[in-house]
A and B are shown apart, each in its own frame.
Chain A
Amino acid sequence: MSQQQTLSVPPKAIPQGRLGIWILIAGELVIFGGLIAAYLMNRLRYPDQWSEQAAHTSTFFGAFNTVVLLFSSYSIVRAHAAATRAQVNKVLVWMSITIGCGLLFLVNKTIEYSGEISHGFTMTSPRLQEAGNQIGSLFWSFYYTMTGLHGTHVLAGMVAMLIVMAGVRKGKNLHRVELVGMYWHMVDLIWIFLFPLLYIAK
């Protein structure tokens, strides 16, 4: 029995879990909002130095990851649609696909990071600093912080999905598929903002 069933839920209320996730999403968006605002401020301040650094990010990997995440949004929608019809097996299949997409995203990210690190672009980019390009190294600090925080959210979403799947296998808590789906869409949405900011704008 889920917590939602109490006598005091007035009719037509938004289910509790959904409301909680909406508020969580609002909070998360402002967290990334603060980071993006700080990034934009610096970007406007150092337009040339930063676009020079942004040219080193891999648009191909970024675009590929965007496609992967967009597809994973589609698959979690299918999982939710199956959950409303209580088709447990379908839910499990579509959620596994979503987790697979998340994994693919992280693998791509890792390949991308290792390429960048091997070229000397790290969190602090000592090579750029030694060459006197302090401002350029700040771009990479932002790059790793923003994509890293986003990657952490992807990982958290995957763990949450595994927990939800464990319940779904026993036929319990099917409504949680929708909740984790909402969170996943948010992660996707944030990437839609990060991708142009960090990869395309050069």
Chain B
Amino acid sequence: MGQAIHLNGNGHHEQSFWTKYLFSTDHKTIGMQYIITGLFMAAIGGFLAYVFRMNLAFPGEAIPLFGELGPQQYNMLVTNHGMIMVLWVAMPILVSGLGNLLIPTMIGTDDMAFPTVNMLSYWIFLLSSVVLLASFFVPGGGFAGGWTLYPPLSAGAYADTSPDFFTALFSGTSLFILAVALEIVSMLMGGINFLVTTINKRAPGMSAFKMPVMVWFLCIASLDFMFSVAPLVAGAVMLLFDNILGTGFYDPVRGGDPVLFQHLFWFFGHPEVYVILLPALGVIGEIITVFSRKPLFAYRTIVKLSLIAAVLAIVVWAHHQFIAGIDPRMATFFSVGTIIISIPFAGVFLSYMATLWGGSIRFSAAMIWALGFIGLFLIGGLTGLFLGSNTFDIYAHDTYFVVAHFHYTLFPIVFFAFFAAFYYWFPKFVGKQLNEKLGKIHFWLTFVFFNGTFFLLFFNGLMGQHRRVHDYSLFSNVIQEPYITFEKISTVCAILLIVSQFIFLYNLVISLRKKERAPSNPWNAATLEWQTSSPPPHGNFPVPVKVYHGPYEYSNPSFSLDYVPQNYDERIMDTESKQDQYEPTADIISTT
């Protein structure tokens, strides 16, 4: 009854190919659409990285699969690599993709609160991807002013071209801004859905602290995103007007202020880091509890800590602008805030360490990806402390030190956490088991080549290698050994890093072609999504579930299994009375 009722009231409805796989309102299909689109964009972003890394190591030489690379094109590739990886890979995969797959199944409901809005959100996202890719091919080429979109470089379309509305509208810059705006709209719609679904559609008995930590973190991330991105919507509209109408919001000659855009951008841009970090931490939390067979240590505390972090995240944005000429007294405030924000996340990390402590750890593919995340993100986080201090940041800003720090945070977040999630939840949502051994080989190659790509860049950065330079021939401090070799090692490792991902594709293909179905609960996990079939049917749970247990009740000595499923009811006698208690009030919607 539960699954039939939410569509159109009649128990059976036919799903054609179109409604099942393309214009689906089912959260599982939409989640997978997001992940597939995100991975496709990741391939494009990776290819761009390959091209400009080649140019950095071997400047002036023709690049295989691409050809000659000029300075303007170099800037365009770096710009688009940045924006693609953050807004078209990290956001759709970690927030929209995993959120869509996991929130309804983890809280024990049939679908999102607004399935149509959910579908619309994906299609707007796809449109934004198309607009972004189209911006490469318009006359004048794609936007090349840096992924942070700082004016005046991003506000010049009107001045560059003849003062003509349509020429300015279809310039690479305007299309880029438009694509960002569409992407934000799509993610806002998704965020509304996540919050309403979690608040309103939890299964009976699923109290706030019986929700898996993943759901908590996704919701906190959505809240942070929705609050922080809205001013950027206004900022992007103003930037677009500067481009297509010739206004002067960010033009100092006309009384405007380019730093205003930096504020609006980083007011979003900094919380954005936590928006994608929190789901990644959620993934890791789910995985390490299952594979160390222990409850999550200090579960309530880390939820509260991340709420604190979410609030702090909103008030530290200007640490990206220490060299933009902001008041030094203000810089001290933002510096201190930035360093304080590491405390809640240190708490979360400690909790994960304590969860591992004394557990019976199983090194499955998902688990080693999760452990890899913890190790690598630690390096990213700790170098972030250096940069948070404005005295150091003034020297390191815009060098490869920042690039290395950024990739040590974002790469583990986006790829290590995503692959951990992928190896963990693939059997559930696709119904086939992935090859564990290939998963581990994939991990070790990625781990080694990732470190090879980015670790040496810390040293290049400290030597003063600036990050937005196309050819270093004129920089005597970096045109010396060992920094030239470091540059080459980094490029070779980046190529090998990209090549290692083909193992993942191979694993995916052979697993999809397997005949045997995955069991419904291959990892003996306690959370709700594992208590239905693999893959879950349309509507997720054939019988509406009720929740009696917390999400991480592992190794309970008084219980025959080593885990207690969340919906396990030891007082079956009481079920009838409980059912009455949780029956919804029928008139809740009609009129209020």
Any B CB within 8 A of the CB of A19? yes
For window 142-193 of A, CB contacts with B under 8 Å fall at 142, 145, 149, 174-175, 178
Determine the distance from Cα of A30 to Cα of B235 in the docked complex, in whole angstroms. 12
Asked if A24 meets B192 with Cβ closer than 8 Å, knowing A11-B584, A138-B248, A145-B237, the reply is: yes
Q: Quick check: B254 and A135 within 8 Å, CB to CB?
A: yes
Q: Chain A nearest CB: distance from B227 CB in Å?
A: 6
Segment among A34-42, A62-70, A105-113 that sits at the interface with chain B: A34-42
Contact among B199, B256, B592 with A19 in the assembled complex (CB-CB below 8 Å): B199
> Is B342 located at the chain interface by the 8 A CB criterion?
no
Check A83/B591 contact, CB under 8 A, given A6-B6, A16-B196.
yes
Contact A8 B231 (CB under 8 A): no
- A120 near B: Cβ within 8 Å? no
State whether B200 touches A46 (Cβ < 8 A).
no
User: B254 is contacted by which of A6, A19, A20, A138 (Cβ under 8 Å)?
Assistant: A138
Contact yes or no, A1 B202, CB < 8 A: no
Contacts of A41 in B (CB 8 A): 257, 260
Q: Cβ of A8: which chain B residues have Cβ within 8 Å of it? A: 2, 108-110, 201-204, 544, 584
**Given known A2-B589, A141-B241, contact A38–B230 (CB-CB < 8 A):** no
Q: How far is the CA of A27 from the CA of B193 in the complex (A)?
A: 13
Contact B113 A16 (CB under 8 A): yes
Chain A binding site: helix, strand, loop or mixed by DSSP? helix
Is A23 interfacial (CB 8 A cutoff)? yes
Flag if B231 contacts A10 (CB, 8 Å).
no
Q: Are B260 and A20 in contact (CB under 8 A)?
A: no
Of the residues B231, B544, B592, contact of A7 by C-beta under 8 Å = B544
The answer to whether A10 and B255 touch across the interface, beta carbons within 8 angstroms, is no
Decide: B260 and A141 in contact? CB cutoff 8 A: no
- Interface core residue of B108, B115, B591 (most chain A CB under 10 Å): B591
How would residues 174 to 208 of chain B score, 1 for a CB under 8 Å from any chain A CB and 0 otherwise? 00000000000000100111011001111110000
Bound complex: CA A15 to CA B238 (Å): 36
Q: Is A61 an interface residue (CB 8 A)?
A: no
Say yes or no: A15-B592 contact (C-beta < 8 A), given A9-B200, A9-B584. Answer: yes
A5 CB, nearest partner CB in chain B, Å? 6
Q: Which of B103-126 contact A (CB under 8 A)?
A: 108-110, 113-115, 117
Closest CB-CB distance, B364 to chain A, in whole Å?
32
Assembly CA distance A194 to B221 (angstroms): 31
User: In the complex, are the beta carbons of A20 and B196 less than 8 A apart?
Assistant: yes
Instruction: Scan residues 121-155 of chain A and give those whose CB is less than 8 A from a CB of chain B.
Output: 123-124, 129, 134-135, 137-138, 141-142, 145, 149
Query: Any chain B CB within 8 A of the CB of A3?
Result: yes
Residues of B within 8 A of A135 (CB): 254-255
- Contact digits for B144-169, partner A, Cβ 8 Å, 1 yes 0 no: 00000000000000000000000000
Q: Does A114 contact B (CB under 8 A)?
A: no
Contacts of A175 in B (CB 8 A): 589-592
Q: In the complex, which residues of chain A have a beta carbon less than 8 angstroms from the beta carbon of B202? A: 8, 10
What CA separation (Å) do A19 and B5 show in the bound complex? 21
Answer whether residue A44 sits at the interface, using C-beta atoms and an 8 A cutoff: no
Render B558-592 as a binary contact track against A, CB cut-off 8 A, 1 for contact: 00000000000000000000000010111011111
Contact of B195 among A2, A23, A33, A138 (CB under 8 A): A23
Nearest residue (CB) in B for A8 is: B109
B387 within 8 A of A: no
B585→A11 contact, CB < 8 A:
yes
**B91 on the interface (CB 8 Å rule)?**
no
Given contacts A123-B247, A137-B254, A141-B241, contact A84 B234 (CB under 8 A): no
State whether A26 touches B254 (Cβ < 8 A).
no
In the complex the two chains form, is B234's CB within 8 Å of A31's CB? yes
Q: Are A16 and B234 closer than 8 Å at their CB atoms?
A: no
Report if B1 contacts A (CB, 8 A).
yes
A83 to B591, CA, bound (A): 7
Give the distance in Å from the alpha carbon of A173 to the alpha carbon of B396 in the complex: 58
Question: When the two chains form their complex, are residues A138 and B246 in contact, meaning their CB atoms are under 8 A apart?
Answer: no
User: A3 vs B119: C-alpha distance in the bound complex, in angstroms?
Assistant: 15
With a 10 A CB-CB cut-off, give which of B117, B227, B255, B582 has the most chain A CB atoms. B255
Is the pair A134, B254 in contact by a Cβ cutoff of 8 Å?
Answer: yes
Q: Which residues of A contact B430 (CB under 8 A)?
A: none
A10 touches B584 (CB 8 A): yes
Q: In the complex, A1→B246 CA distance in Å?
A: 49
Asked if B249 is at the interface of the complex by the 8 Å CB criterion, the answer is yes
Residues of B within 8 A of A6 (CB): 2, 5-6, 109-110, 201, 584
B582 A145 Cβ-Cβ under 8 A: no
**B114 in contact with A34 (CB, 8 Å):** no
Greatest chain B CB density within 10 A among A7, A46, A123, A134 is at: A7
A6 to B201, CA, bound (A): 8
- C-alpha spacing A95/B229, complex, angstroms: 33
Distance of B99 from chain A, by nearest CB (Å):
15
> How far, in whole Å, are A37 and B264 apart by their CA atoms in the complex?
10
Chain A residues closer than 8 Å to B267, beta-carbon distance: 34
What residues on A are CB-neighbors of B63 within 8 Å? none
Kindly supply a per-residue 1/0 record for chain B positions 1-22, scoring 1 wherever the CB is within 8 Å of any chain A CB and 0 otherwise.
1100110110000000000000
Q: Is the CB of B195 within 8 A of A134?
A: no
* Given known A-B contacts A10-B202, A34-B264, A141 and B247 have beta carbons under 8 A apart: yes
In the complex with contacts A27-B188, A145-B238, A134-B113 CB distance below 8 A: no
A15's nearest neighbour on chain B, judged by CB, is: B589
Q: Are A134 and B255 in contact (CB under 8 A)?
A: yes
Decide if B374 is an interface residue (CB 8 Å cutoff): no
**In the complex, A83→B592 CA distance in Å?**
9
Q: Given A15-B592, A37-B231, is A23 in contact with B196 using a C-beta cutoff of 8 Å?
A: yes
Bound: A83/B6 CA distance, A: 24
* Most A C-beta atoms less than 10 A away, residue of B191, B203, B246, B588: B588
Is B65 positioned at the interface, with any CB of A under 8 Å from its CB?
no
A83 and B590 alpha carbons, distance in the complex (Å): 10
- What are 26 pairs between A and B in contact, CB < 8 Å? A1-B9, A2-B589, A5-B589, A6-B2, A6-B5, A6-B6, A6-B201, A7-B2, A10-B202, A11-B585, A14-B200, A16-B201, A17-B589, A24-B192, A27-B227, A28-B230, A30-B230, A35-B234, A38-B235, A38-B249, A42-B257, A83-B591, A84-B592, A134-B253, A138-B254, A145-B247
- Chain A residues near B (Cβ < 8 Å): 1-11, 13-20, 23-24, 26-35, 37-38, 41-42, 46, 49, 83-86, 123-124, 129, 134-135, 137-138, 141-142, 145, 149, 174-175, 178
Question: Which 10 A-B residue pairings sit nearest by Cβ, starting from the closest?
Answer: A34-B231, A30-B230, A135-B255, A4-B589, A34-B234, A1-B9, A141-B247, A35-B234, A134-B254, A31-B230
B: which residues have CB within 8 A of A? 1-2, 5-6, 8-9, 108-110, 113-115, 117, 188, 191-193, 195-196, 199-204, 226-227, 230-235, 237-238, 241, 245-249, 253-257, 260, 264, 267, 544, 582, 584-586, 588-592
A13-B200, A27-B192, A38-B249 given; name 7 further pairs at CB < 8 Å: A5-B5, A7-B544, A11-B582, A27-B227, A145-B237, A145-B249, A175-B590
